[in-house]
Amino acid sequence: MRRVTAGVAVALTVLLVAGPALAFTCPKLQKEAGEAITKAEGAVAKVADARAKAVAQAMVNLAKDLNKASEASHKKGVDAKDANSHYRGEAEARAAKALADMAGKM
């Protein structure tokens, strides 16, 4: 019984400490995505093949849209104190960074 009580107490402590930290993850990821987008834009400008350049530019544009959506989700999460909005914002920022990284390698 004591082990169960101790386990529940530890789990609750971790949740209470980790919950507020989620709000600080979104801006960090958004900043990383913004930096990757800027880097990708420079790389896309140097692509010679028209088709590859169009594909890479489309990826950069989508990354920008995802990063903006991430900022909106983060703001909604802060305003409504909604963890799901933070999760969405984090996922959108990670996707934006991944797309920008792929576009930069074309």
What is the reported pLDDT for 17? Answer: 47
**Alpha-carbon distances of 60 from 16, 20, 45, 91, rounded to whole Å:** 37, 31, 11, 17
Question: What are the structural domain ranges in the chain?
Answer: 20-104
pLDDT per residue, tens digit, the chain (106 aa), is 565 455 445 544 544 444 554 556 889 999 999 999 999 999 999 999 999 999 999 999 999 999 999 999 999 988 888 888 889 999 999 999 999 999 999 8
What is the reported pLDDT for 2? Answer: 61
- This prediction's pTM: 0.77
What is the reported pLDDT for 12? Answer: 44
